Structure 1
């Protein structure tokens, strides 16, 4: 690595070359040749490390130096043994990829097993190949999300994905681990090894410092919060200060004779375990833009007080007299959709979906638009929301609150009582919502026969039609899957979770969903008809047959047959899947089916030919109904506005290549926001169980692994792992049958969906990776099961609702 810097040092009050005849030029370089030539020319020359260390007033700057092999300290433990194969030069890698000798793909490390990774190799169209890598040498210093070149091993060396779940045993988890050879099984997959790195995806990683046991050592190991990232060697003189802190570290390089990559300290984030710190880590680790909106962005917001002008009214349809209302979760302030239903004079029904007209406030290409495009989506954490657009828009001017006039983009249908659509039209409008209701409030109105006001009549009409639309969708093969979602009730003073509630879905949830789906489908067809090359659409690919393996096995274990020839075949199979005496079986099966699905993605119509949405059984689909929280919807609004002559176009909107690049970012942001939300739920779940002792709960086996079972606790919407290879006591006799799959522990055999009873507690022994620990109570296996905890009385005191 050759790099150098020039510094021009001016005496006081001299600020230009013309003013100063006695300036000093300092050259910073790590290149010996440059150093020698500069010294011959009379320049002051330092190595970067030497110069930084000379700044006595700022000793902490030394920690920010990139850690390279030329500046290893004396107490570095080195080895002349080459631990990893040499990476091939890029020229050979490119030639090998061109000839087909090597494959290029994205390296994805396993969360459960640090000795395993998968490389996803993108083929033509939507086809992709997964190549398994096992063992440190085959991983060959690749880091999660690097773009790598892999060489396939001979077919006889192919292996199956590991069924082992690695336990986190703290700081020394990587040391001296022997790589187990996988059993010879029939389900082998293409297996390979990394031969070169095409593009590093290194970023500053959050984690904690493991302070060296060697007194006064400046070399330490850093353990990242993300288990998929290897530990990193860093040099710091602040170890006593940084112990117990969450910090950020950047990787500088990974020599072939070093077990770990080298890196340097970037900054401290705060005390580990503190809520603010952990939330910051969560957002940084999932690459969620969460900085305050800049003045440049805020400068494009409308001036307050803001009012709808007569000019606005001339360009819009006045729908303020309609009985429009919104139905949302409790506490929702970013209300972006509202509905109405009324009977027409001809006996037909008029139904309207009214969406906040965010595109009126966010114009193409300005700083506000660019920031929203980068963020891509609003991120909902437990007790906190990271807005895509400033609060003035998200919770005020764009929010369709009751009893205020708001700008909207309306999709209006005329339909008969059989929910057959006769006419569809789209219009920019002005509305005045008559009520902002929660799902529960709307349901109470529908069910209360004594109520007969306009809002209630509108809701009843919508609910009746929604049931018909849902039945028709299901008949076409739309899937009704399941996932357990939880809602935390947060203490207003401590901000700790005090209640854990599994979300209960009401008819009104389904009512709103049906009309949002209908609006999205109607708009998708309209923008595609008008702009076949640049419509922003959303598709859901059909899963490959191999994805259903675990579903087939789970169903077979209960003598239930599942068909996956089409979405309708799967939907029909799930509808009739029942087991006598096991009412929860169907829900568990649908939860498992959800895990088999592919990710839905945004795409540009001119760059793809497969538009089908598998889960909805719809030939075309897009997102139109949530522009406050999704940037994709803003683009769709702009397309629709141009299509109906309500707005003018601009070059980027009609450029399919730029639309495709935008879709890639939106897909990434959407995926990371989902991960961030799950991580937030996991963290708040840990807070909920903190200081609650050990609880006894019933659950179901969701997955069977080689050394563990994954248990689902429906009461809490919680998954946890029960290990059977504890290092604290003699390991029991364990036999894993992948075909079942079953796990026999001593004399008891576990199957998927078996009912079990476990203890639940918070294991805080590793402050960085606190986790929910589960131990088996029932079935009783001598030497394995633990006695039921005395926490039953305490459990009864917990406010936990179904």
Structure 2
């Protein structure tokens, strides 16, 4: 063994040198090579050593079950980890799969394979040389009896040439894959040219110098990295994330990270190959070139098949869906325009960080305008075809496939690999088929993919952490320090119908003539979910349970979710209980008495639905103990709610849709808005009380590392859509604080129009960002507040079965009240922040997937029926309206003029009055109208929800089939 070292200067992110660092390696000659002990019958196999770019760009091919016997050098693992965390984790997963026979070789610690630095050699060239040394070593180290061939796999021509000069066997990726199998399903996974990685700015520059120039390019070449860095430093360029409009895929906005101001990107050329989510460098155009946001509704992306810069848009590809919960960037930009109507306008000049999904995009083969689709190349050759992503914010993707005929009616997954400046569309590759377009199963798989929700079964290691069934409370549980026996306490749960994962239960009992004790009892998940276990790692990764219309994707295995942890009626269960003393004179918690927390054993007397609980409360003939307990809880909840409203809490609106499903076919039979009762508010207030009290307790104990939930105060510009709509309707809204906003919304009523106030609240909801989890160490006092709830502190404690953030809070609270030591990871604010960040992403993805599932089933519902219903104008656009149909929670466009290049002279948009006029008829925001909702069938198995204005005297309800 001997030692080698390297000294380098470590810098901060701002490029300031801070210290010299020396790293040393100890080299050995007995490092495990992994595959020399293969069975004799496997001697005809090929052992492949892949370079870093193959690992980064060919992951779908590497993951195929037919690809085995691969050596991953430590050099490759490290470079992959530095460049793509997702690819690195997938690569680690492959190395753990014994069937794959992927081996990690510590080449940087082997005396024969370590590559010393050479003066003048780039890091990339040094790493390539290290991998070649490893390949040569493997050929010497692995006996012929164990394998027939050891080969280096690379698409880098320079690396391949040097390998041949050094007498190293070398293959390109496609040669290697075809040597394994020439089956189209495997070959299609290969990224054409993938692995010869050249930064986009360098590639653009080389292409321009090669003689093509502007005439050969569809898009403007990107600036190089140095020019971008200088431009950002000088203020000539701005940096921000791209957010594409929901209603127009050719219009996007970039929020300047430095100032928070928005910049409009209008058209393909200005977007310059940037897609939604990319972090880009933008050049702001001279003010003389600033324009008004288009305000157009464009519902499709059927561009010209010929690769030109024109964008003829077919409006018959996609439209309609549930009302979103957050504002569209365009709405804010349109509302915040200058008096002249123009907004800062720019163009993308460079990509700082791509946001291409490594899991891919749900898509379908572009069938063209005639609906006949492309023709297969034949002769075993690959066909080059365009694929249309399901999410219309993304561009079409060109792929090569030998399976075209079998994909025409399939929902498929494609990955973006590249987007050269001389191509109208990004280039990618086909990954897999999800099923028949339009089928509920295939479209559900697609929406899970689009929202990055994992529906894979739990691994055996996770199930190994679950107690065996049947499970019951034992004497050992009752004897645990700090756990109280509350089985005699009258407890019940109140949930939606069919709820199986019951997180919470409630209690209320008289103490004496002046006081009541109320209790909130939460499933004690952390008594089964321990840190540093496979189940905890999986729960942290999933982050939350996702609720779809027809299924539930659990954060924890079902045995815990619906049995062991669930507070089912009539069963003894472990709980984490919180108690408050309430004064009967005020029916509010006594602030002189601190809330009491304890672990407990409870036995729920009943698992009620909201409707059942409401019926008990309202039935004057019922005076049993359970009903009296519910009435006490209701009375306390009323006062808690009244106090919150007085403090400025907002009562907002968000459409929540519920389906009645056919038990045999699982098709939706009916759809409508979710009905809420006072018992919904009762449970909500109890949960809010528990969450606030818990936040105060854990922050007191751990001021720098408590898991909190904050709702940032919205910037005033975010309220512009609400203010403009309200002004157009003659209503004054004060948005200076949550208290003034709440008062304004309460006052904005029209006796003749009961739904008007709800529309304003829907609009107000869109103006706010979502609440997020955070570590208390990230923010000072006022920044921790929850704006919507008007609470200085808040967290999530009440749903640990379905939210991982609540699991962390349970662990913190257990430590805070002395039941256990605080886990070492929770002592670090940065770690708590990282957990919070993951929970935020998973929560957002879960919410979006749930909404997409409702949209899908709404489409299925309307396939078999046409319904006339009342609607309201929610937005006005230059070529039509966006309407909201309250009965179904649907928001969608009504187009007067279709197509981006269509003549809009017949439409007149007045942005100040919030009206649009078409053929002598004027519509104003929030106006009533009558619409017909149906599904329009399109070519290639496509369909869209079509909303059409009909005369007001048209009978409401389902239209009988002719």
In the superposition, the TM-score normalised over structure 2's length comes to 0.76
CA distance in 1, matches of 2:294, 2:248: 8
> In the superposition, relative to structure 1, how do residues 318 and 53 fare at CA in structure 2: closer, same or farther (>3 Å)?
closer
Partner Cα separation in structure 1 for residue 843 and residue 825 of structure 2: 22
CA distance in 2 between partners of 1:214 and 1:319 (Å): 71
CA separation of 1:60/1:434 partners in 2, compared to 1, >3 Å: closer, same or farther? closer
Find 1:284's aligned residue among 449, 453, 457. Answer: 449
Deviation at 1:779? Answer: 6.4
Aligned to 1:572, what secondary structure does the other structure show? helix
**Where does residue 419 of structure 1 map in the other structure?**
587
Among 217, 222, 247, the residue aligned to 1:87: 222
Summarize the Cα distance change of 1:470–1:40 in structure 2 as closer, same or farther, 3 Å threshold: closer
Deviations 1:416-469 (A, max 9, x none): 021332221111111111010000000000011111111101001111111111
Q: Identify which of 394, 407, 429 aligns with 2:561.
A: 394
Deviation of the 1:193 alpha carbon: 2.1
Which one of 384, 399, 403 corresponds to residue 238 of structure 1? 403
Partner of 1:75: none
Q: Is the 8 A contact 1:68 1:253 kept in 2?
A: no
Distance 1:668 1:687 in 2: 29
Hey, what's the Cα distance between the residues in 1 that align with 2:941 and 2:841? 26
Indicate the larger mover: 481-490 or 728-737.
728-737
In the alignment, does 2:804 pair up with 1:631? yes
Q: Is the 8 A contact 2:304 2:311 kept in 1?
A: no
What is aligned with 1:206? 362
1:695 aligns with 2:867: yes
Q: Is the 8 A contact 2:53 2:195 kept in 1?
A: no
Give 1:221's match in structure 2, choosing from 379, 386, 406.
Answer: 386
C-alpha separation between the residues in 2 aligned to 1:769 and 1:112? 19
Q: 1:742-753, aligned counterparts within 5 Å?
A: 742-753=915-926
- After TM superposition, list the pairs within 5 Å mapping 1:316-715 onto structure 2: 316-345=483-512, 347-417=514-584, 418-422=586-590, 423=593, 424-609=595-780, 610-692=783-865, 694-715=866-887
Counterparts of residues 186-205 of structure 1 (less than 5 Å) = 186-203=340-357, 204-205=360-361
How far apart in 1 are the matches of 2:52 and 2:510? 76
Mapped to 1, the partners of 2:477 and 2:922 lie a distance apart of: 70
Alignment-derived partner of residue 177 in structure 1: 310
Asked if residue 736 in structure 1 is aligned to residue 861 in structure 2, the reply is no
- On the 8 A contact 2:218/2:309 being kept in 1, the answer is no
- In the TM superposition, what whole-angstrom CA distance separates every residue of 1:88-112 from its partner, at most 9, and x where no partner exists? 2334333443444433322222222
Listed one character per residue, the Cα deviations across residues 158-202 of structure 1 (whole Å, up to 9, x for unaligned) are 34433111132646599763599x999635443322222122221
Shift of 1:768: 6.9
Unaligned runs of 5+ residues in structure 2 are 1-50, 56-68, 72-100, 102-138, 197-211, 314-333, 368-372
CA distance in structure 2 between the aligned counterparts of 1:157 and 1:215, rounded to whole angstroms:
45
SS at match of 1:354: strand
Given that 1:466 and 1:514 are in contact with CA atoms closer than 8 Å, whether structure 2 keeps it comes out as: yes
Structure 1 distance, partners of 2:54, 2:700, is 57
Secondary structure in structure 1 of the residue aligned to 2:539: helix
| Distance in 2 separating the partners of 1:147 and 1:132 | 15
1:471-506 CA distance string (max 9 Å, x none): 111111111111221100111110100111311111
Q: Deviations along 1:332-370, whole A, 9 cap, x unmatched?
A: 000001101111035300000101011111111211111
How many residues align? The count is: 775
Asked whether the 8 Å contact 1:7–1:27 carries over to 2, the reply is no
Report if aligned partners of 2:363, 2:412 keep a CA contact under 8 Å in 1: yes
Deviation at 1:304, TM superposition (A): 2.9
Equivalent residue number for residue 437 of structure 2: 272
Task: Determine the C-alpha separation between the residues in 2 that align with 1:103 and 1:458.
Answer: 59
Tell me which residue corresponds to 1:295. Answer: 460
Partners of 1:259 and 1:357 in 2: how far apart?
Answer: 55
CA distance 1:258–1:456, change in 2 (3 Å): same
Q: Given that residues 148 and 197 in structure 1 are in contact (C-alpha distance below 8 angstroms), is that contact kept between their aligned partners in structure 2?
A: yes
Answer whether contact 1:325 1:433 (CA < 8 A) is retained.
Answer: yes
SS for the counterpart of 2:736 is: coil
Q: What is the distance in 1 between the residues matched to 2:861 and 2:948?
A: 18
Tell me: CA distance 1:526–1:156, structure 2 relative to 1, closer, same or farther (3 Å): farther
Equivalences for residues 756-795 of structure 1 within 5 A: 756-765=929-938, 770-778=943-951, 794=960
DSSP 3-state at the match of 2:562 = helix
The offset of 1:214, in angstroms, is 5.4
Residues 364-412 of structure 1, C-alpha deviation per residue, up to 9 Å, x if partnerless?
1211111111111111110211111111111111111111111111110
Structure 1: distance between partners of 2:397 and 2:624? 65
Matched residue of 2:938: which SS? Answer: coil
- The TM-score normalised by the length of structure 1 is 0.91
The separation in 2 between residues aligned to 1:548 and 1:190, in whole angstroms, is 19
Cα separation, 2, equivalents of 1:303 and 1:676: 32
Q: Look up the match of 1:130.
A: 262
Give the distance between the partners of 2:883 and 2:308, measured in 1 at CA: 29
CA distance in 2: counterparts of 1:233 and 1:779, whole angstroms: 46
CA distance in 1, matches of 2:400, 2:573: 57
Which SS does the other structure have where 1:770 is aligned? Answer: strand
Given candidates 105, 108, 117, the residue that maps to 2:252 is: 117
Q: Deviations over 1:118-162 (max 9, x none)?
A: 223434xxx733332222222111122222222333344334433
1:431 and 1:31, CA in 2 relative to 1: closer, same or farther beyond 3 A?
closer
What are the Cα deviations for residues 276-319 of structure 1, in whole angstroms up to 9, with x where unaligned?
11111110110012110101111111233323232321220111
Q: Does 1:48 align with 2:48?
A: no
- Quote the Cα distance in structure 1 between the aligned partners of 2:405 and 2:143: 48
Unaligned runs of 5+ in 1: 72-77, 781-787, 798-802
1:184 and 1:642 map into 2 onto residues whose CA distance is 54
RMSD: 3.0
Query: Contact 1:160–1:185 at 8 Å: present in 2 too?
Result: no
Kept in 2, the 8 Å contact 1:4–1:27? The answer is no
Would you say 1:151 and 2:283 are equivalent positions? yes
SS for the counterpart of 1:762 is: strand
CA distance in 2, matches of 1:789, 1:234: 49
SS in 1 for 2:261: strand
Local SS of the residue matching 2:740:
helix
